[in-house]
Structure 1
């Protein structure tokens, strides 16, 4: 699998990484062994970028990663996040004291002396206009507790503001054929400033696997059940913000464009990777077979002009009005 530069961190990472939200929480019941097996499968397939957060299962995801790495030869870059443990989750609480407390907990969970990459975890928009927060991150670098820092953002505006701070080396953002706005100004600015772009929710919470339908039932503790209207957190994290029934229609319209020998998930990942601004894409899965198929997407050819036009047409007809102006 090819590697791409992760901004100015000095790391080249695999084009496909692994997101580990689902082995922590909010995706139905996943056993610890299933979680460990997913991480092992990713490492065995060559993936060398793992993304987690301190709130995924209240640290469970971080701990499972540490357990696997303790018995594996791989030395991946491990990115975690901090901030969502704040209650209330308000801008004024993004202080040095709170961030350092979260960092210390993640260091313990991951069994590390220094975190590879710490990302602010989708803070309120006003936090990006609070320089003290970024000063705190810089001081944590100076203290040796984190090596690099960035931000995981909800909106393009937040990403554009975050990269004005010279210490921000990466931005994590939702991008897929159903969330195209970041591919415009934000991608251009990220490339211009040499900022690494980590793409999350690439498969729109499973919509863009092509394996969901109107009869699919989600467990009570799966965010695809309880967060469809944004009742728990930003609705853009669930099905990329696309109303479920609309998303199913759009997927059906897209199916004829997917090459016969590809899965829809592979087609989607290839569409994302065709953007040079992207450093790595982090689909999550507990299926070793699906993880391997995701990795294979990195070796597929680029999409043709006709295929890209088809994606754009589906986005324009079904999806754009629901998401483009919001994120």
Structure 2
């Protein structure tokens, strides 16, 4: 089974035996592709290089957007997941460090009865009490499986390269045991791309998660080529620079040359530019708004820009007024997320 055995919590807790899932990820994808092709809307699929397993090129991120404090309304993120899946989405990325995001993902994919059709990419961030101590990693993986309600995780990656020399070996063990299907590393800062390239060249990784946007293109210099040469899947995080790429184009339509390709919105403009790079396997835009996930999923369909068009897209966007200052803005301009990870640390009492 590709995505792990999933049963409704209430059914499990009443003692009903879990049944084998009849909707495997791969077969569900094939069926939905056939339906999409009949309607003239075939989703853009990409192979995971090490196995050839196909996944949709547009996924869903959950950092901050799915971190809902316990007891607060969260139906909107359930609607995001429902619409994401309805529009062909399968890959959902999360992490134990994203507050309540794992819990929200696990609860809603079970409630929507789509768990066996979802491909989970997750992370681990641990150090242990001493160098070779893997107990923290084991505990974190067990917690993730319980929150996501899965017997195994599709992709587990070293979060932000934390303790990667030790954790990568543990991940290889988990993969050999079958509790993890693919292993990898993640980062968002270009200053670590040299380290990532070195690790990619060891040939031991299946996935790399990296920042690559129309404004942050450093991964093009060496890292993406290294991934392609070593058969490593590339998952792109923070594709909208935490919404900052939208500020310079607020209220403006996409250019005519993009509309002629079927690109209707700026979100699709940015996403199609990313997934059109031949080394990119999947991109994971995060959102908490149902209308935005539908917009994002529009990038999963239609033509992709070729190399010349990609260059034209960069030239057009970077030539707009205000783009040079876009990354100087705070993340998510005009919006503030209030999840668990934003809770303030207690301040020590002031000495008198």
TM-score range normalised by the length of the shorter chain: 0.7 to 0.9
User: Does residue 1:193 correspond to 2:230, yes or no?
Assistant: yes
Instruction: Identify the match of residue 36 of structure 1 among 60, 74, 78.
Output: 78
Deviations 1:232-283 (A, max 9, x none): xxxxxxxxxxxxxxxx4x8899965773562111111111111011101111
Kindly state the Cα deviation for residue 207 of structure 1 after the two structures are TM-superposed. 2.0
Structure 1 residues 253, 13: CA separation in 2 closer, same or farther (over 3 Å shift)?
same
- In 2, distance between residues paired with 1:300 and 1:91? 50
- Would you say the 8 A contact 2:201–2:226 is kept in 1? no
Which residue of structure 1 lines up, in the alignment, with residue 102 of structure 2?
62
**TM-score, length of structure 2 as denominator length:** 0.68
* Equivalences for residues 255-294 of structure 1 within 5 A: 256=255, 259=258, 262-294=264-296
- In 2, distance between residues paired with 1:200 and 1:49? 13
Kindly state the Cα deviation for residue 62 of structure 1 after the two structures are TM-superposed. 1.3
SS of equivalent to 2:143: helix
Kindly state the Cα deviation for residue 319 of structure 1 after the two structures are TM-superposed. 5.0
Instruction: Identify the match of residue 98 of structure 1 among 136, 142, 157.
Output: 136
* Equivalences for residues 94-243 of structure 1 within 5 A: 95-124=133-162, 127-128=163-164, 130=165, 132-154=166-188, 155-208=192-245, 210=246, 212=247
**TM-score, length of structure 1 as denominator length:** 0.73
- Would you say the 8 A contact 2:228–2:279 is kept in 1? yes
Structure 1 residues 36, 314: CA separation in 2 closer, same or farther (over 3 Å shift)?
closer
SS of equivalent to 1:205: coil
Give the number of aligned pairs. Answer: 273
Kindly state the Cα deviation for residue 118 of structure 1 after the two structures are TM-superposed. 0.5
- In 1, distance between residues paired with 2:198 and 2:128? 18
Deviations 1:128-148 (A, max 9, x none): 5x2x33211111223332222
- In 1, distance between residues paired with 2:131 and 2:316? 43
Structure 1 residues 2, 256: CA separation in 2 closer, same or farther (over 3 Å shift)?
closer
SS of equivalent to 1:171: strand
Question: What is the Cα-based RMSD across aligned positions, in Å?
Answer: 3.3
Structure 1 residues 307, 273: CA separation in 2 closer, same or farther (over 3 Å shift)?
closer
- In 1, distance between residues paired with 2:220 and 2:57? 17
Task: State the structure with more CA Rg.
Answer: 2
- In 1, distance between residues paired with 2:207 and 2:303? 26
Q: 285-294 or 274-283: which moved more? A: 285-294
SS of equivalent to 2:282: strand
- In 2, distance between residues paired with 1:7 and 1:113? 24
User: What are structure 1's unaligned runs of at least 5 residues?
Assistant: 213-247
Which residue of structure 1 lines up, in the alignment, with residue 118 of structure 2?
76
- In 1, distance between residues paired with 2:277 and 2:258? 19
Structure 1 residues 79, 94: CA separation in 2 closer, same or farther (over 3 Å shift)?
farther
- In 2, distance between residues paired with 1:93 and 1:315? 46
- Would you say the 8 A contact 2:203–2:230 is kept in 1? no
Structure 1 residues 165, 106: CA separation in 2 closer, same or farther (over 3 Å shift)?
farther
Which residue of structure 1 lines up, in the alignment, with residue 312 of structure 2?
309
- In 2, distance between residues paired with 1:134 and 1:67? 29
Structure 1 residues 301, 195: CA separation in 2 closer, same or farther (over 3 Å shift)?
same
- In 2, distance between residues paired with 1:169 and 1:204? 25
- In 2, distance between residues paired with 1:174 and 1:56? 17
